[in-house]
Amino acid sequence: MVGATMQTLPNPLPTRIRVVGDVHGDTAAFRYAVATDRFVVQLGDLVDNGPDSAGALRIMFDLIDEGRGLFVLGNHDFKLARAIAGQIGRIEGVLAATLAQLDGPLRQRALLEATRAPVWLRVGRALFVHGGFHPTMLEQPAPVQGLERPQGAASRALYGEPTGRTQSDGYPERSLNWVDRIPAGIVVYCGHDRRSTDGRPYRRTGQAGGTAVFVDTGAGKGGHLSWIDLDLTDDKFGRDKPAMSVAT
């Protein structure tokens, strides 16, 4: 399998990081976001919808090559990898537009990086994931996803928690019940759901006392790109705890 091992990640993670939300092909904004001396943790969905998915991928791969950043796997990144690998029969819409932007070498790099990207990343009491939280993420390292259909916590990581219903826009309805299962003291930084009503990342505290921070503010979809600067030496992140939780 392509990417059968997790990408090599700094261990411990640099203490000064920039958490960047869903990019969706908004290369101009992404280029501005990564103009920092902080280590970049991008929350997935680099591609689709925006004008320049190829450019967004190139920026991300440069960060990886330079040891200055990583991305957790998003559902759009995963779908692109499966399309490149010939595992999707009908390709249309935004996915077809993204594929048309990618030359051969960029397709192969996108396939490689998507199949070895972490599906979640834990640093002390901070958890970085694309779609949503599952208690397993606090108990086990992230699996190597490859191109297999995600199951269990990996499915939650990519797709959040669908209700099984379809919205009027044709997209699956998503529940935020998973926020109520985040333990007190844990902060989950995620993308996937655009929940903000004021253009800034949306924070929600669940019944168990934990917090979710939704960093997707609509880049590539008529909104803009958001990011949050963190210092992981802050006491609230419990940096004295195990520094990292990913498979190797």
Whether 161 and 177 have beta carbons less than 8 Å apart is answered as: yes
Provide the angle, in degrees to the nearest 10, between the axes of the packed helices 53-65 and 93-101. 60
Quote the radius of gyration of the chain (alpha carbons, Å): 17
- pLDDT tens profile 132-176: 999 999 998 888 788 888 999 999 999 999 877 877 666 777 889
CA dihedral over 205, 139, 148, 83, signed as positive or negative: positive
- pLDDT tens profile 6-38: 666 776 778 899 999 999 999 999 999 999 999
- pLDDT tens profile 73-119: 999 999 999 999 999 888 999 999 999 999 999 999 999 999 999 99
Provide the pLDDT for residue 243: 32
Q: Which CATH architecture has domain 16-237?
A: 4-Layer Sandwich (3.60)
Give the H or E element holding residue 189.
Answer: strand 187-190
User: What pTM was computed for the model?
Assistant: 0.91
Domain boundaries, the chain: 16-237
d(CA 113, CA 120): 14
**Is 239's pLDDT higher than 60?**
no
d(CA 197, CA 218): 11
Three-class SS state of 115: helix
**Is 4's pLDDT higher than 70?**
no
**Is 129's pLDDT higher than 80?**
yes
Q: Give how far Cα 129 sits from Cα of 40, 173, 207, Å.
A: 14, 19, 20
Q: How confident is the model at residue 233 (pLDDT cuts 50, 70, 90)?
A: confident
- pLDDT tens profile 172-202: 778 899 999 999 999 999 999 999 888 899 9
Provide the pLDDT for residue 236: 73
d(CA 225, CA 33): 8
